[in-house]
Structure 1
Amino acid sequence: MILRHRLAALFEAESVLIVRTEKSRESLQLPESTWQKTVLYQAESTQWPASLELKKRLDLAVVCVPAAELNPVLEKLSLYQPRALLLLTHYSSRAYDASQQRALQQWAQDHHCLLLGPRSFGLMRPNSGLNLSIQPQLPNQGKVALVSQSRTITTAILDWAQDANIGFSTVVDMGDEADVDLASVLDFLAVDNQSDSIILYLHSHPTSRQFASALYAATATKPIIVLKAAALDHSKELRAREEVFSALIRRTGAIRVRYLLQLYAAVKILSLRRRLKGTRIAMVANGDGITQLALDIMRHGSTVRRASLSMETIEQLADGAMENDQLYNPVVRYAPWTTDFIDRVLPALAADPQVDGILVLLAPDPYADLHAIAEGLIALSKKLYKPLVTCWVGEYSMRGLRSKLEQAGIAALRTPDAAMDALNTLASYHYSQQLAQQIIPAYPLGRPANIEAAKHIVLELQQQGVRQLNETDCAQLLACFHVPILAQAKPYTVPTLAPTCIHMYTDAQYGPFMVFGAAAGNLEFISSRTAVELPPLNRNLARHLIERAPIWHERLHDVAGEDVFRELQQALEKLSELISEIPEIKTIQIDPLWLSPSGLYCSKIRMELHPLQDPQNLDCTSYQHMAIHPYPRHLVQHHQFKSGQPWVLRPIRPEDAQALQDFVRDLSAESRYMRFVSMMRELSPSMLARYSRIDYSRELALVATVPSTDSVMADQAGDRVIAFVHYLRNNDGRGAEYALVVADDWQRHGLGSQLMRAIIEAAKSQGLSYIDGYVLATNDGMLALLKRLGFKNDIDKYDPGLRRVWLDLGGAETE
């Protein structure tokens, strides 16, 4: 049985009650299959129905009345008990004050009702013919979801999209977010079959953990573009928050843009059949001027760069070239283009291993048949296995050609800067997806940290009222985590490189963040000279942080040896562990930090503690102080079979994806059918991403592994998966659906019961009310195991061949 998503009452309402004034300006539209009733609100003379005569609870009430008239409307709605309430902006309404917001939240809570708004533009589902908004016309149908915190930005994007022939699956304006928030909407869209990508416009910074968790889950299966302008307040704290927010967007796998033009380019580019897997771009143009514009943009902070063509490619281009052709990147043909030219040049560029994508730049040419070129590009794009972006510079004669290519699914931009924005978006998406895959290792690298000793030091200092640590205390904490920084002045005889710094601060909204860059001295700690990242860091994330700092490219890259770089990486990684495990630390300043072949030196290290909190907060396994949940190493368990064979039970990691796929492929047909209730031979890409890339703060997947003896069967860690159990949150938000499967060769070793006990304890710790699953009625072994663990067994009312087995974890009803 598929549970209805808790937001389905909003986005897929089966019954709708509309309450509006006679002068309301909204034009609502509902699918024919949706039950609906409209009430015209007229203060004392409103004709309210005595009963809605529905067989099930009313899904949605849509209200558009003045704020002053809302209370009597809510009193009447209490009789109908809607699952959800949408409060549209009324043309005469003023803003809701804090007391009204609290009253609305309380009403929604008392009546177990979702609340979108108040002062919401509304929502639209064009593919379903649903328009519950103040917008009179539905946009085109499409696969893009738009979620916005601004009515004006929403209408501007819709107006542009209508002209650009871009369609939407969902449009929703959040209003004042009194109840339903961004995280909830992202959770719905992550599993929405109508949406392939998501646009998110943010006016303010969302709350940390819930937003980050929902964003991370959604980007595992579909691209998300976040448009947010920088804060108008230029205070140090808000400037830092902007950088921290950008770091959060990168780490969750989303893309941040800062201008509407960048957003428009991003929406077009994400419809490409193929995505960039690097930053090296080959350009083909019909003149020098447009390539110079593109190269100038590339030189000023662009993510993508000009590809260096291989000699083999240049030789291919020379074969058949005209006298004045430019063969090096950019490839330029000044003579009128023909389809033969593009059929010869573009495949050669796509075959070059040093090229990641192709940009075609065309200006109007009265001597060339550009309509034939457009048709040729459409035909050729289906054969190329690398992204193709086109730029048709001009307007009057080029608009129709751009439209033709866009309808064929090829990005066609109007200016070189728009084309570069689009390519930068593709490259940023690839980069963010790589960062989203990065988590700390399952096992500590080198000596494990002495976390208990560090906690003892901090607790003693807090009990003494100490906030600023002295040099001895700082050195002791660094030693507990084996941070390779010598807390001493560098010897004059040791040659050092340009001074750097490592800082750590705590943002009130997003928690701790780390800064690396040039020694700050008395300058601002966040500046153009530094780079920012969120803990936890692994070796790769530390490398990205170092390489994003300008000082690395300007003064260190060519002179720092590999040993120095590795030492700096390790210092950042170990400091990240310190920050993650000791939430009482508020700030760290290691400035200046001197790099040398003999070690890292800092004569002055400063640390500040938060005030003493409740002792229960010292248990940081929930990592509530952090925006990104670290890998839960405390769940790693080492076991041994009776035969003496060692095995490990641990949370899954993104790099386990291939080993998990191999595990599923190696299952017998019967085991696969018992687990997936289908004859599927392997996991789809979206299923694989969903199972292996998870947010450990709200769901979990565990694998049992043994050392692999077959390199084909091994993941990067050399582990072979022999059993897998996971739970994913149910759409109701209260429970989770689990699934367990054990490799055929490893059954009857007690793996099933151990994995189920581990997953039950994890579900309890995350506050779930119940876990359930569906088992074939013929799967006697699994049913017997679950019965021993206390599960209840119900016949599924939709399929008698299935059993719904569930365990109450101390929550409410499970239906």
Structure 2
Amino acid sequence: MTVRNLDALFRPKSVAVIGASERPGSTGAMVWARVLEGGFGGPLWPVNPKYKTLGGHAVIGDAGDLPQAPSVALICTPPDTWPAIIHKLGGLGTRAAIIVGEVRRDADRLAVRHALSAARPHLLRIVGPGSLGVVSPALRAHLGAPSCTVKAGGVAWVSQSNALTNAVLGWAHARGLGFSHAVALGDEADVDAGDVLDYLASDPGTRAILLELDSVRAARKFMSAARAAARNKPVLALRSGRADPADALYSAAFRRAGMVRVDALDDLLDEVETLGVGRVAAGATATLITSDRGLATLACDAFAAAGGMLAPWPAEASDALLQALPHAVGGNPLRLGDDARPEHFGTALKLLAEHRSTGTAFVVHASTHGAPVGEVAQALIANQRFAYRGLLACFFGGLDAATRDALHAQGIPVHTTPQRLARAFARLVDYRMGRELLMQTPEGLPAQIPETVDAAQAQACAALAAGEHELTGEAAARFLERFGLTVETQGRPTAQAPDAAPTKPLPAADRTEDNAEPSRKPVVDIAIELHDDDNFGPVFHFTVPSVDGVSEALRVYGLPPLNPVLARDLVTRSYYARLVAPEPTLAALTALSQTVCEVRQIVGLTLTFRVYSDQVTVVDPTLRLGAQRSRLAIVPYPRRFEETLDWQGLRVTVRPIRPEDEAAHHDFVESMTPEDLRLRFFGAVGSFDHSQLARMTQIDYDREMALIATVASEEGFTRTLGVVRAVADPDNETAEFAVTVRSDQKGRRLGQLLMDRIIKYARARGTHWLVGEALRENTAMIALAKACGFTITRTEDPGVVGFRLALDEPAEPGAQAPRQGS
């Protein structure tokens, strides 16, 4: 399970507090008091046989006697009572519970297992045990024992630590900052960080997510959820324990998921201000506006330390500012002078708005007689609309609460020092760059033909059947060469797979007498290991020696699958990257990744990449084999769904979409008539940009599938004829489908062919329902849905019809029927 029933936690309609009390210092008293102080407006029921009334509310003696099922129940009783309480709540129809009490003994752990067993038949979700609670300030729902009431804001806080959660909530409260939601996960017996990320990824009230954790329970689910969230909004992660040997692996996982890792709690707290208050479209550059030369120097140093992001100005921008502000010193930073007035800051913002290359606006100011900080703040508020990429401020000496809140209300974050402001902005730039990395289109490599992959798998299976658990020497070389890797072994010439791209021949002066190995001096040797991590599954570990032999070697983790874009991200961190052509190294890394992804019998390996200026060879490979290994944390391209068939006189390949299909998909969309595009997208559609096409072609195979029908053109290019998609909700209860066929291929039953295959895929995946929608006038789509067995349903929009197909027997008792179009 993932997001199922989490709406009961984050959007509760009624609350029960089991074990509510008035005994000072008791958990029940703290939780009950906080719910009351928060001002929750829905039905609220205290449950405790010892009381008649609490806080003006009639007390229920037993959870089984509640007048109706609460959306969420807060359980403040001893562990031995949890299973029975969960059983009663599940029978009533309650969908979520928060266990506040902690687990201290083996008997308590047994009680948790029994409580989970009692919850499972009812699909009741449990947060905790040992959870501080879940806070949704917009609903005034303080479900637990937070240290203070929480103001509504745009940032969600998710943490595995109760103490840290309380500290952060108190810090934000003192500064007038708020949260969309705050979650203390506790022991994560059921609801974990991946579940919450999945929910918050599509929560409209959450603009950014701040995540604090020590460990990840289910790596594949976490990575899938984190990647989905990071595509939509900034996700910043704090993990303590840099000395932990696994810490570098977590850094690699965060980076691969598009999250930004922060190094300290202060940095994470600064983002409550930057992301929770501001609407900052972080480009790579900014313009600094200040009055004093000393402040300008301090601020420039801060930005240089954070990455040097001050924008170069066009000459016309300096000229315009100097005409309007003759006492200013033009350029970036812009110094308005010691006699600057509040209105001069507004003038600068107006003039800079005409020159977008100047980037995000930063105002750093200390109060003067001519420009008190309060009046400057009002000038910023009045002219904030001109800062098209956002506006951030730093006022030395601080602000009064009323002025601070006024700036916040206009979406202007305020930081206390230039260093904090610069670092906060740098993290937004990191997020933008990481998101772009997720959206990059990988360069295509020649795909390994199935026969080659099958031969490699057969070699591994034969070795295991013969009792061999390692491939070395000639056997390892033959195995790797099937994937296009060149292997150096003693007394043996380098080799290359027949289907691999040819390597440029070496000049005669660079060869040995027997043409065996390059005689040139290699640029660097990269040591590579693959090990099966208990949590993240197979991971690569790369070690690049230091340049001087004294400094630390570069050690980097990478999670397969890799493609050339992701491999480039790893390679460019090394000093040696500037000394060689990158393409051979990128191709070799991608080929090695494909080897691991395709052959599941590989449970570990050690080898060396010997990097020359224009070639990469493999040295001393050892492949460890086993019958079983962990699943990859990120699902690779699912080759098993490829199919080639004869259709309507064409040789058609139906397969999952790949990132390198972007160009063909662009042509596919461009080939469709405006009317067909309108019917597909429910409105007039213009052209699609790279970002939109990347979202269509770069999918997470763990929760989404897009099958395309392709043919090879006479020119040798691949042409897309149609595509069908199914996007499952995170708990795989319902998948929403859509199908599109080229306008010039309509009427040839290609839509039926694609629909048959997506239904088969969804059914095999264990999805319960396949749903979709179409405009009522789209008679062809309605007819296709009926032919495929869908039931036609009404929707809230009279111009739209819904489709619903049950893929198996009805879901478990108590399961909610899928919402149309969900």
TM-score by length of 2: 0.81
* Partner of residue 753, structure 2: 754
Does 1:198 find its partner at 2:201?
no
Q: Secondary structure at 1:141's aligned position in 2?
A: strand
Please state how far the C-alpha of 1:282 moved relative to its aligned partner: 4.1
Q: Which runs of 5+ in 1 are unaligned?
A: 618-623, 710-716
1:508 aligns with 2:534: yes
Aligned match of 2:601: 584
Q: Residue 118 of structure 1: SS of its match in structure 2?
A: coil
* Corresponding letter in the other structure for 1:651: I
Identity %: 26
Hey, what does 2:195 align to over in structure 1? 184
The answer (yes or no) to whether the contact 1:126–1:168 under 8 Å persists in 2 is yes
Relative distance call for 1:428 and 1:312 in structure 2 (3 A) is same
Cα gap change, 1:627 to 1:590, in 2 (>3 Å): same
1:545 aligns with 2:570: yes
**1:365 Cα deviation (Å)?**
3.3
Encode CA deviations 1:36-85: one digit per residue, 9 max, x unaligned. 43321449x9833775454xx65433221123443554465465353322
Single out whichever of 378-387 and 115-124 deviates more from structure 2. 378-387
- Answer yes or no: is 1:80 the counterpart of 2:86: no
The residue type paired with residue 227 of structure 1 is L
Residue in 1 that maps onto 2:558: 533
Q: Distance in 2 between matches of 1:447 and 1:641?
A: 22
Task: Choose from 408, 413, 425 the match for 1:406.
Answer: 408
Deviation at 1:250, TM superposition (A): 1.8
CA root-mean-square deviation: 4.3
Matched, 1:599 2:615: yes
Hey, what does 2:478 align to over in structure 1? Answer: 476
Farther off after superposition, 698-707 or 256-265: 698-707
Contact 1:60 1:86 (8 Å CA) reproduced: yes
**TM-superposed deviation, 1:224:** 1.6
The aligned amino acid for 1:176 is: D
Cross-structure match for 2:281: 275
Aligned in 2, Cα 1:349/1:34: closer, same or farther, shift over 3 Å? closer
Q: Is the 8 A contact 2:529 2:607 kept in 1?
A: yes
2:396 corresponds to 1:393: yes
- For residue 262 of structure 2, what is the aligned residue in structure 1? 257
Deviates more, 1:202-211 or 1:501-510: 501-510
Residue 8 (structure 2) pairs with residue 12 (structure 1) = no
Residue 294 of structure 1 deviates from its aligned partner by 4.6
* Partner SS for 1:580: helix
Q: Is the 8 A contact 1:276 1:430 kept in 2?
A: yes
1:713 is matched with which residue? none
- The one-letter code of the counterpart of 1:759 is I
CA contact (8 A) 1:449 1:482 kept: no
Cα deviation for residue 200 of structure 1 reads 1.7
Cross-structure match for 2:220: 209
Describe the shift of the 1:75–1:501 C-alpha distance in structure 2 as closer, same or farther (beyond 3 A).
closer
Distance 1:348 1:631 in 2: 50
Aligned residue for 2:232, secondary structure, equals coil
CA separation of 1:640 and 1:41: change in aligned 2, threshold 3 A? same
Matches within 5 A, 1:168-179: 168-179=179-190
Shift of 1:372: 4.2
SS at match of 1:606: strand
Q: Is the 8 A contact 1:588 1:605 kept in 2?
A: no
**Conserved? CA contact 1:123–1:132, under 8 Å:** yes
Return 192-201 or 718-727, whichever deviates more: 718-727
Question: CA 1:83 to 1:696, structure 2 compared with 1: closer, same or farther past 3 Å?
Answer: same
Using the TM superposition, give the Cα deviation of residue 423 of structure 1 relative to its aligned residue in structure 2, in angstroms: 1.5
How far does residue 754 in structure 1 lie from its aligned partner after superposition?
A: 1.6
Q: 2:79 aligns with which of 67, 87, 90?
A: 67
Question: Displacement of 1:364 after TM fit?
Answer: 3.6
For residue 500 of structure 2, what is the aligned residue in structure 1? none
Change (3 A) 1:362 1:779: closer
Give, in whole Å, the separation in 2 of the partners of 1:655 and 1:265. 40
Structure 1 residue 756, shift from structure 2 partner: 0.8
Q: Which amino acid aligns with 2:530?
A: M
After TM superposition, list the pairs within 5 Å mapping 1:519-668 onto structure 2: 519=545, 529-549=554-574, 551-552=575-576, 557=578, 560-561=579-580, 564-591=581-608, 593-597=609-613, 599-601=615-617, 604-613=619-628, 625-636=631-642, 642=648, 650-651=656-657, 653=659, 656=662, 663=669
**Contact map agreement 2:527 2:607 (CA 8 A) in 1:** yes
CA distance in 1, matches of 2:687, 2:114: 47
Deviation at 1:160, TM superposition (A): 1.6
Q: Which residue is equivalent to 2:764?
A: 765
Task: Give per-residue Cα distances to partners, 1:8-33, cap 9 Å, x unaligned.
Answer: 23333344433214232212258877
User: Structure 1 517/744 Cα, relative in aligned 2: closer, same or farther at 3 Å?
Assistant: same
Q: What corresponds to 2:125 in structure 1? A: 114
Paired position in structure 1 for 2:523: 497
Q: Give how far 1:217 is off.
A: 1.6
| TM-score normalised by length of structure 1 | 0.82
**Does the 8 Å contact 1:298/1:420 carry over to 2?**
yes
Compute the displacement of 1:740 (Å).
Answer: 2.6
Deviation at 1:574, TM superposition (A): 1.5
Counterpart CA distance in 2 for 1:783 and 1:492 is 64
How many residue pairs align between the two structures?
768
For residue 207 of structure 1, report the CA deviation from its aligned partner: 2.0
Residues 664/598 of structure 1: CA separation in 2 closer, same or farther (3 Å cut)? closer
Q: For the structure 1 residues 612 and 414, does the alpha-carbon distance in structure 2 shift closer, same or farther, using more than 3 Å as the test?
A: same
Cα offset for 1:544?
A: 1.5
Separation in 2 of the partners of 1:641 and 1:303?
A: 56
| Separation of aligned partners in 2, 1:356 and 1:75 | 57
1:84–1:114 Cα contact (<8 Å) kept: yes
Residue 468 (structure 2) aligns with: 466
**Are the aligned partners of 1:243 and 1:532 in contact in 2 as well (CA < 8 Å)?**
yes
Match of 1:40 in 2: 48
Q: Displacement, 1:403?
A: 4.8
Partner Cα separation in structure 1 for residue 655 and residue 392 of structure 2: 46
Q: Matched residues in 2 for 1:19 and 1:472: separation?
A: 68
Change (3 A) 1:605 1:535: same
What secondary structure sits across from 1:782 in the alignment?
A: helix
Q: Give the SS at the match of 1:505.
A: strand
Identify the match of residue 252 of structure 2 among 240, 247, 257: 247
What CA distance in whole angstroms lies between the structure 2 residues aligned with 1:536 and 1:607? 20
For residues 476-531 of structure 1, give each alpha carbon's deviation from its aligned partner in whole angstroms, at most 9, with x where no partner exists: 2321111256456996851443544444333221123334452389x99x966233
- Report the 3-state secondary structure (helix = DSSP H, G, I; strand = E; otherwise coil) of the residue aligned with 1:382: helix
Decide which moves more: 264-273 or 416-425: 264-273
SS in structure 1 of the partner of residue 129 of structure 2: strand
> Partner of 1:450: helix, strand, or coil?
helix
Partner residue, 2:109: 98
Q: Which moved more, 1:365-374 or 1:188-197?
A: 365-374
Provide closer, same or farther for how the CA distance between residues 466 and 277 of structure 1 changes in structure 2, counting only shifts above 3 A.
farther
Q: How does 1:220-231 map to 2 (within 5 A)?
A: 220-230=231-241
Cα distance, 1:161 vs structure 2: 1.6
Distance apart, 1:608 and its partner CA: 3.8
Contact persistence 1:664–1:683 (CA under 8 A): yes
Report the CA distance between 1:422 and its aligned residue.
0.6
SS of the residue corresponding to residue 633 of structure 2 reads coil
Cα distance change, pair 313–9 in 1 and its aligned pair in 2 (3 A):
closer
Any conservation in 2 of the 1:771–1:809 contact (CA below 8 Å)? Answer: no
1:375 is aligned to 2:381:
no
- Seen in structure 2, the aligned counterparts of structure 1 residues 314 and 497 have a Cα distance that, compared at 3 Å, is farther
- Secondary structure at the residue paired with 2:480? helix
> Structure 2: which 5+ residue stretches go unaligned?
52-58, 492-511, 818-822
Q: Deviations over 1:768-811 (max 9, x none)?
A: 2332334567755434433443x252644978984543132466
Query: Equivalents in 1 of 2:388, 2:796: separation in Å?
Result: 44
**Alpha carbons of 1:340 and 1:745: their partners in 2 closer, same or farther (altered >3 Å)?**
farther
Query: Do structure 1's residue 337 and structure 2's residue 323 form an aligned pair?
Result: no
- Change in Cα spacing, 1:131 to 1:68, as seen in structure 2 (3 Å) is same
CA contact (8 A) 2:444 2:660 kept: no
Instruction: Give the drift of 1:399.
Output: 7.2
Specify the alignment match of 1:712 in structure 2. Answer: none
2:386 aligns to what SS in structure 1? coil
